Structure 1
Amino acid sequence: MPYVSSRARILSVCSALVVALIAVAALAPLPITIAVPGLTANVLGSNNGQPVITIAGAKTRTTSGQLRMVTIAATEPNASLHLTDAIKAWFRTDEAVMPRSAVYPGGSVQQINRQNAAEMKQSQDAATAAALRYLHMSPSRVKVTLKLADVGGPSAGLMFTLGIIDSLHGNGKGGDLTGGRRIAGTGTITADGTVGAVGGVQLKEQAARRDGAAVFLVPQAECSDAKAITPAGLQVIPVTSLDGALAALSSLNSGSTVPSC
């Protein structure tokens, strides 16, 4: 019978324990969510057969081009994800591993959906206020209705605002804000026109490019994330305010220098 040293036996036992621990870790569910590029929607067009923007009390105009809001999609809060799922996503550019608590901060799925709907409503109200304020129109005379099914959260604020302005005013010279282009973007907005960060920018860029956008408006605070992995053919323009976004679009349409991340 061959002799086995004490050290060899210890190493053998330790190796078995390590293998067992790795197996347990690989099979144990983790508190993570995997996000991917989500849907995009043209706020100047229709969604589920209904116009995204409806305006009463003021004359609207026919627009060309597109203003696309973008989203990310995430696994359900009760999805069972494991170490192997995280490792796979880690090495992909079209997937991101995120703490579940960052995407779903608590509560039931119904509560989360209600919260997302409330944030979307608040975003729409702020977008309407910012657009009418910019156009010097009274909200008591001009009524704006925004409808976008199956989308929640505040990140479409900037694009809603630009869509309202384009529908009512265009670029102020008889043309469109888009210049006929397919423009995508993300960012929250406040009633005074301040654009805020939203998160998930790299995945949103991919969604924008996938759906044909050549220009992407991004909150300036997220420039470093946006330029880390920029899809080929997508021009990324940083903005901090509604005025800045409108100025950038004007420069783009006139062929002037446009800000870049």
Structure 2
Amino acid sequence: MTQQTWTAAVSAVWFLVLAIAIALSPTPFVTYAPGTSHDLLGTAEGAPIVEVDGVPTYPATGKIMAATVSVTPLDGTVTLPEVLYAHWARDRDAVLREWHYPTRTTIAELRERDVQRLAAAQTNAAASALRAAGVEVRQIPMVQTVAQAGPAVNLLVPGDFVLAVDNVPRATDAEVRAAIENRPVGAPVTLTVLRGQENLSVTIDTTSSNTSPTVPVWGGTLTMGFSYTPEVIFHLDPTIGGGSGGLMLALATFDRVTDGGLVGDLSVSGTGVLDGAGNVSRSSGVVEKLAVAERDGASVFVLPAANCADIADTPTPLRLVSVANLDDAIAALDALAAGDDTGAVEGCA
């Protein structure tokens, strides 16, 4: 073997070693892939996934499915070949890790965030669906969290509705906060709360805020919640986090409490973030969720109108239904179930 041949062979080996090392090295990306479907009109461990008590309920005929996305876990890595495959594959995507996972987020924090988003999605879905079905829904200040080391621990629990402060009715969470802060630090505050079907009077000794020592706080956070007579329970896998299933949860709840079958015999899948007023906003991973819907036998896919651009270059045999709010979705599915594919049914241009 000549020196030139030897040099070429060594160079080739080193090139191969470096190529393999680069290919196997972690990249600053996470990948999205098709996940699973959950038929929200079905059952889980013998109980309806969407269970409603306190109003008449009706049997379902078709399917309303929530599609999910499989995402690289926080402690997982993605190699260069995986990034390239996700970039070119029709049903996958790759995004910068820092875009999907905030910097310095821990696994526990991420899990808690997803649980909170799912809880908010369920709350908004129940309220929006019941309101659309003609059930009275009141919006009331609600305890969102209670600090474990704060003065309200063991006195208030998340989900308590705050009706009054020192016997004065308060209509919004901002009014409750203002009434509490309009007193000296350490002064007690008496909250009238609704817990379940019982009115309670709870007195809390305020303490100073960590960020503003002259501002009194009660040791928790407030949000606007929804009060209604029926009880809506979602028997969902707690590991399924996030809020993009809100629209489908609302449709399944509406189907349960209205007669006639919203989707008929159709298999409907979809996604969408829903607020308490029934407005639908964009969801992430729509291309992957569309692939899930196709794989699992759906014939209709409901998505936020804001997401239509994301699937403009993704051919699909499914009937796409774009919506801006829950009422749009109900009207469209009602029309499709009746065999009418025009009028109220808006697609993606």
**What TM-score range do you get, normalising by the shorter chain?**
0.7 to 0.9
What's the counterpart of residue 247 of structure 1? Answer: 331
Which has more strand, going by share of residues?
Answer: 2
Matched AA of 1:167: R
What's the counterpart of residue 167 of structure 1? Answer: 256
Structure 1 alignment gaps of length 5 or more: 5-14
What's the counterpart of residue 117 of structure 1? Answer: 115
Alpha carbons of structure 1 residues 155 and 88: separation in structure 2 relative to 1, 3 Å: same
Alpha carbons of structure 1 residues 103 and 50: separation in structure 2 relative to 1, 3 Å: farther
Structure 2 alignment gaps of length 5 or more: 5-11, 137-226
May I ask how many residue pairs the two structures share in their alignment? 250
Give the TM-score of the pair, scaled to structure 2: 0.65
Deviation at 1:18, TM superposition (A): 9.1
What's the counterpart of residue 181 of structure 1? Answer: 266
1:203 and 1:48 map into 2 onto residues whose CA distance is 27
1:191 to 268, 271, 276: 276
Q: Is 1:100 equivalent to 2:97 in the alignment?
A: yes
2:122 and 2:253 map into 1 onto residues whose CA distance is 11
Deviation at 1:95, TM superposition (A): 2.1
Deviates more, 1:71-80 or 1:206-215: 71-80
Secondary structure at 1:33's aligned position in 2? strand
What's the counterpart of residue 214 of structure 1? Answer: 299
What's the counterpart of residue 10 of structure 1? Answer: none
Secondary structure at 2:290's aligned position in 1? helix
Deviates more, 1:84-93 or 1:192-201: 84-93
Deviation at 1:147, TM superposition (A): 2.1
Deviation at 1:16, TM superposition (A): 11
What's the counterpart of residue 142 of structure 1? Answer: 230
Deviates more, 1:150-159 or 1:41-50: 41-50
1:252 and 1:206 map into 2 onto residues whose CA distance is 21
What's the counterpart of residue 44 of structure 1? Answer: 41
Alpha carbons of structure 1 residues 103 and 49: separation in structure 2 relative to 1, 3 Å: farther
What's the counterpart of residue 259 of structure 1? Answer: 346
What's the counterpart of residue 86 of structure 1? Answer: 83
1:56 and 1:158 map into 2 onto residues whose CA distance is 20
Secondary structure at 1:259's aligned position in 2? coil
What's the counterpart of residue 11 of structure 1? Answer: none
2:66 to 43, 66, 69: 69
Secondary structure at 2:312's aligned position in 1? helix
Deviation at 1:19, TM superposition (A): 8.5
Alpha carbons of structure 1 residues 46 and 102: separation in structure 2 relative to 1, 3 Å: farther
Equivalent residues of 1:226, 1:236 under 8 A apart: no
Equivalent residues of 2:266, 2:337 under 8 A apart: no
Identity of aligned residues (%): 30
CA shift digits 1:175-203 (9 cap, x unpaired)? 21112110011001111110011111010
Matched AA of 1:162: L
Deviation at 1:36, TM superposition (A): 0.7
Equivalent residues of 2:244, 2:271 under 8 A apart: yes
Larger Rg: 2
1:207 and 1:256 map into 2 onto residues whose CA distance is 23
Secondary structure at 1:63's aligned position in 2? coil
2:122 and 2:89 map into 1 onto residues whose CA distance is 33
Matched AA of 1:132: L
1:215 and 1:140 map into 2 onto residues whose CA distance is 31
Secondary structure at 1:44's aligned position in 2? coil
CA shift digits 1:70-126 (9 cap, x unpaired)? 100112222222212212222212221122223322422122111101100000000
Deviation at 1:250, TM superposition (A): 2.2
1:256 and 1:39 map into 2 onto residues whose CA distance is 28
